Amino acid sequence: MKNYIHKTLILLAVTLVFGACTKDETLTIADSSATVELVASKTTVEVSKELIGQNALTISWTVPDYNFANENPTYEVYFSNTEIEATLVTTTSDFSKSYEVEEFNNALIEVGFEPEVEIELTITVVANIGALKTTSEEITVTVTPYQATIYYPELYLAGDATPAGWSETNNDYRMFKDADQGGLFYYTGYFKAGSIKLREQKNKWQPQWGKGANEGELVGNPATQSNDPEAITVETEGYYTFTVNLVDFTYTLEAYDAIGKTEYETIGTIGSGTVNGWDADIDFTKSTFDPHIWYMDIDLTGGGEFKFRENNDWTIAWGGNQDPALENYGVATSNGGVNFTVPETGNYSIIFNTLTFRYSYILNE
* Nearest of 69, 145, 150, 136 to residue 112 by alpha carbon: 145
What is the full DSSP assignment across 309-323? Answer: EETTSSSSEEEB--S
**Contact in structure between 150 and 52 (CB atoms under 8 Å):** no
- Identical topology for domains 156-255 and 267-363: yes
DSSP3 helix / strand / coil % (the chain, rounded to 5): 10, 40, 50
Which top CATH class is 38-143? mainly beta
CATH of 156-255, one of 3.30.70.260, 1.10.3720.10, 3.40.50.300, 2.60.40.3620: 2.60.40.3620
pLDDT in tens, the chain (365 residues): 434 334 333 333 334 333 444 444 444 445 556 789 999 999 999 999 899 999 999 999 998 877 765 567 899 999 999 999 999 999 999 999 999 999 999 999 989 999 999 999 999 999 988 778 899 999 999 999 998 777 789 999 999 999 999 987 776 799 999 988 888 999 999 999 999 999 998 888 899 999 999 999 999 998 888 899 999 999 999 999 999 999 889 999 999 999 999 999 999 999 999 999 999 999 999 999 999 999 999 999 999 999 999 999 999 999 987 655 456 899 999 887 889 999 999 999 999 999 999 999 999 98
- pLDDT at position 70 is 59
**Which residues share a beta bridge with 175?**
none
Domain range list for the chain: 38-143, 156-255, 267-363
DSSP string, 271-293: STTSTTTTSS-EEPEEPSS-TTE
Helix (H) or strand (E) holding 16: helix 2-19
The CATH class of the 267-363 domain is: mainly beta
How far apart, in Å, are the Cα atoms of 250 and each of 215, 239, 253, 338?
9, 20, 11, 33
pTM of the model: 0.66
Q: How far apart are CA 77 and CA 57, in angstroms?
A: 13
Q: What's residue 68's pLDDT?
A: 64
